[in-house]
Chain A
């Protein structure tokens, strides 16, 4: 089954404790991205990657890192999480860079930073 998976789905952590949220897609998609969703603000892009070893900042990259060492994986790293990073996070992938290529989203990771 074609899908985007994320782990963990739920995470409660404390300020400053490094964490990684994994994202994997089995569709051989070139384009992957990370979003956060907060009430009233919609989804905001954190980082995106157009291919292996190619990453770039989105609208809200502060406090996050990513890497793209393999085509299928695009982990999101929070080196020193803070409470304002409490949010619902989605990973997405797309088969191409044309604007009309559909984005497929993972199931989401609900992160709480105390």
Chain B
């Protein structure tokens, strides 16, 4: 089993739609989780960290379910500019020190006019 797995995609959705991505991780000791966004042929950029209680940043909501070892990202009111690949990232460390990240393969989103 891969350490981090994501919905394979691609997701093709109309503007204004709500879309959700899931990510599962295998290391139950992991404590830190993130979503990165990567535009085609560009570098990844941090979208948001994922906190235990769940967190929201504008149209984006991240949730963590430790018992089931999955992370989700919800995008509401999709914009054309949301089209990108979304990377789920898990830190292997059993605490919040040290940057030993595992990246998922990514889920591609295309928002259509």
> Which residues 55-106 of A sit at the B interface, judged by CB distance below 8 A?
90, 94, 97-103, 105-106
Asked if A90 and B43 make an inter-chain contact with CB atoms under 8 angstroms apart, the answer reads yes
**Interface SS of A by simple majority:** strand
Asked if A33 and B99 make an inter-chain contact with CB atoms under 8 angstroms apart, the answer reads yes
A54 within 8 A of B: no
A31 within 8 A of B: yes
Name the A residues within 8 Å of B102 (CB-CB). 42
In the bound complex, CA of A40 to CA of B4 (Å): 12
Asked if A43 and B99 make an inter-chain contact with CB atoms under 8 angstroms apart, the answer reads no
Name the A residues within 8 Å of B73 (CB-CB). none
Asked if A41 and B105 make an inter-chain contact with CB atoms under 8 angstroms apart, the answer reads yes
Total count of chain B residues near the partner, CB < 8 A: 25
A 1-39 to B, binary, CB cutoff 8 A, 1 in contact else 0: 000000000000000000000000000000101010000
Asked if B4 and A42 make an inter-chain contact with CB atoms under 8 angstroms apart, the answer reads yes
A-B pairs with beta carbons under 8 A, tally = 53
A47 within 8 A of B: no
Asked if B87 and A107 make an inter-chain contact with CB atoms under 8 angstroms apart, the answer reads no
Name the B residues within 8 Å of A100 (CB-CB). 32, 49, 96
In the bound complex, CA of A3 to CA of B74 (Å): 29
Q: For B42, B95, B98, B99, which residue has the most chain A Cβ atoms within 10 angstroms?
A: B99
With both chains docked as a complex, state the minimum distance between the C-beta of B87 and any C-beta of chain A, in angstroms: 7
With A43-B44, A108-B41: A97-B97 Cβ-Cβ less than 8 Å: yes
With both chains docked as a complex, state the minimum distance between the C-beta of A31 and any C-beta of chain B, in angstroms: 6
Asked if B99 and A42 make an inter-chain contact with CB atoms under 8 angstroms apart, the answer reads no
Residue from B43, B95, B96 within 8 A of A105 (CB atoms)? B43
Q: Residues of A with Cβ closer than 8 Å to B? A: 31, 33, 35, 40-45, 48, 90, 94, 97-103, 105-108
The 10 A-B residue pairs whose C-beta atoms are closest, nearest first, are A99-B32, A105-B43, A43-B103, A42-B103, A99-B91, A42-B105, A99-B96, A102-B46, A105-B44, A42-B104
Q: Write 25 A-B pairs (CB below 8 A) sorted by A numbering.
A: A33-B99, A41-B105, A42-B4, A42-B87, A42-B104, A42-B105, A42-B106, A43-B44, A43-B103, A45-B100, A45-B101, A48-B99, A94-B99, A97-B99, A99-B91, A99-B93, A99-B95, A99-B96, A99-B98, A100-B96, A101-B99, A103-B46, A103-B99, A105-B43, A108-B43
